[in-house]
Amino acid sequence: MSQSTSVADKVSEFIRRPWCSVVAITLLIVSFISNLVFLYHHCPFDLSEDESHYWLWSQHMAWGYYSKGPGIAAIIYVATHIGRMFGAPLASMPVIRTPAVIFSLLSGVATWFLARRMFRDDRAGLMAILLSAGAPVFAVGSLIMTIDSPMYLCWAWAVVCLWMAVEPRPNGELPQGKAPAGWLYLSGVLFGLGILAKPVLLFLPPSALIAAMMNPYLRRRLATWNSLGAVLVGLAMQIPTLIWNAQHHWIMFLHIGGEGGLESRSGLLAHLEQLPAHVGLYIGSQAGILAGILFGLLVAAIWQVIVRLRRSHDEIEKVRWAFLIGLTLPIFGFYFILSLWTKIEPNWPAAGYFTGIVLLAGVATHWFNDPGKLQKAWRFWIIAAVVWGFSLTVLAENVQRLYSWAATWEHNGIPFPRWDPAARLHGMKLRADAIEKVRMSMWKGKGPKPMVISNRWDVASSLDFYIPDHPFVFCIGQICGGRQSQYDLWPGIDQKTKSGRLRYAGRDAVLTGSFSGPIFNHVIRPAFKKVSPMMHIPLYYHHVLFKTLNVWKCYGFKGFDEKAAQRF
**Average pLDDT value for the chain:** 90
pTM for the whole thing?
A: 0.92
Confidence (pLDDT) at 193 = 97
Name residue 73's beta-bridge partners: none
* H or E segment and range at residue 506: none
pLDDT tens string 342-380: 889 999 999 999 999 999 999 999 999 887 778 889 999
Q: Kindly tell me the burial class for residue 69, based on how many C-beta atoms sit within 10 Å of its own C-beta (0-12, 13-18, 19 or more).
A: buried
Confidence (pLDDT) at 11 = 45
- Report how far residue 517's alpha carbon sits from residue 509's, in angstroms, rounded to the nearest whole number: 20
- Report how far residue 156's alpha carbon sits from residue 530's, in angstroms, rounded to the nearest whole number: 56
For a pLDDT cut of 90, what percent of the chain falls above it?
Answer: 71
* H or E segment and range at residue 416: none
Split at pLDDT 50, 70, 90, the class of 3 is: very low
Query: Where are the domains positioned within the chain?
Result: 3-251+265-397, 424-565
* Per-residue H/E/C for 294-358: HHHHHHHHHHHHHHHHHHCCCHHHHHHHHHHHHCCHHHHHHHHHHHCCCCCCCCCCCCHHHHHHH
The length of the chain is 568
- Report how far residue 50's alpha carbon sits from residue 146's, in angstroms, rounded to the nearest whole number: 7
- Report how far residue 339's alpha carbon sits from residue 332's, in angstroms, rounded to the nearest whole number: 10
How confident is the model over 146-160, as a mean pLDDT? 97
Confidence (pLDDT) at 373 = 75
Confidence (pLDDT) at 561 = 82
Confidence (pLDDT) at 260 = 67
pLDDT tens string 189-222: 999 999 999 999 999 999 999 999 999 999 999 9
Confidence (pLDDT) at 4 = 36
How confident is the model over 49-60, as a mean pLDDT? 96
* H or E segment and range at residue 278: helix 268-289
In the predicted structure, residue 415 carries a pLDDT above the cut 90: no
How confident is the model over 412-422, as a mean pLDDT? 65
Q: Tell me the pairing of strands 509-512 and 528-531.
A: unpaired
In the predicted structure, residue 6 carries a pLDDT above the cut 70: no
- The DSSP string of 90-108 is SS-HHHHHHHHHHHHHHHH
Q: How far is CA 19 from CA 25, 107, 268, 301, 379, in A?
A: 10, 21, 58, 26, 20
Q: Residue 284: which residues within 8 A CB-CB, separation 6 or more?
A: none
In the predicted structure, residue 186 carries a pLDDT above the cut 90: yes
Maximum pairwise Cα distance, the chain: 94
Q: How far is CA 337 from CA 228, 262, 370, in A?
A: 27, 14, 36
Nearest to 401 by CA among 544, 539, 538, 291: 544
Confidence (pLDDT) at 566 = 67
Nearest to 160 by CA among 197, 135, 128: 128
How confident is the model over 30-43, as a mean pLDDT? 94
Give me the sign of the Cα torsion angle 263, 264, 268, 271. negative
In the predicted structure, residue 422 carries a pLDDT above the cut 90: no
Nearest to 138 by CA among 494, 493, 392: 392
In the predicted structure, residue 17 carries a pLDDT above the cut 60: yes
How confident is the model over 109-113, as a mean pLDDT? 98
- Report how far residue 130's alpha carbon sits from residue 345's, in angstroms, rounded to the nearest whole number: 26
In the predicted structure, residue 429 carries a pLDDT above the cut 60: yes
- Report how far residue 241's alpha carbon sits from residue 247's, in angstroms, rounded to the nearest whole number: 10
In the predicted structure, residue 149 carries a pLDDT above the cut 90: yes
Confidence (pLDDT) at 265 = 57
Nearest to 510 by CA among 488, 532, 486: 532
In the predicted structure, residue 410 carries a pLDDT above the cut 70: no
Q: Tell me the pairing of strands 509-512 and 535-541.
A: unpaired
Neighbours of 260 (CB within 10 A): 15
Q: Residue 235: which residues within 8 A CB-CB, separation 6 or more?
A: 192
In the predicted structure, residue 43 carries a pLDDT above the cut 60: yes
- Report how far residue 365's alpha carbon sits from residue 320's, in angstroms, rounded to the nearest whole number: 15
Q: Which alpha helices (H) appear in 89-247, and where do they start and end?
A: 93-119, 122-133, 136-141, 148-166, 181-197, 204-214, 216-222, 225-236, 239-247
Which amino acid is located at 426 in the chain? H
In the predicted structure, residue 5 carries a pLDDT above the cut 80: no
* Backbone torsions φ then ψ of 496, nearest 5 degrees: -120, 160
